[in-house]
Amino acid sequence: MAVRSPGTASPRDPQTATGEVDGVNLEEIREFAKAFKIRRLSLGLTQTQVGQALSATEGPAYSQSAICRFEKLDITPKSAQKIKPVLERWMAEAEARHRAGMQNLTEFIGSEPSKKRKRRTSFTPQALEILNAHFEKNTHPSGQEMTEIAEKLNYDREVVRVWFCNKRQALKNTIKRLKQHEPATAVPMEPLTDSLEENS
């Protein structure tokens, strides 16, 4: 994917043909973005780890999503030019610490602190009753419906989304277990239906 232009230069524009937009060398940015990703992966770092470490030192502008957009070059040339020296400086220090020992690198970037901080959400019996009622009506609520449920229960939308995902998976697992315990011999459909109704 090419570095996103602010719209002033078209692909046939002479400025773009020379590999520059707004005075920014696009080829240099492309090469750096490719090299940065390779260097990040060679250190065993995720975009989340880089984003968290940079956000702590450089501010929220250097989040995981910013790192992701930079590596995909889904970013304007001016923004890429601005973020490039910060990433270069940070990566150089990360590599130096890695050479000094993995412990030094872990201290520098932290070991996925968000995963340590996150706790399992405890749902109240009332909340579970409402969630289960919604699930019985619709196992795949829309984004808007999930937002409304989250606001009603005073939970994060992401928490509600994960609850529905887990609930669907649990239902699939239950159905799978039931199928595994069915008799291997073929049974005509009508008697099978009758016997299920009688047992329920």
| Tens of pLDDT, residues 129-147 | 999 999 999 999 988 898 8
Query: Of all residues in the chain, what percent carry a pLDDT higher than 90?
Result: 14
Predicted local distance difference test score (pLDDT) of residue 131: 93
Whole-prediction pTM: 0.44
3-state secondary structure of 148: helix
DSSP 25: E
Q: Is 92 exposed, middle or buried (0-12, 13-18, 19+ CB in 10 A)?
A: exposed
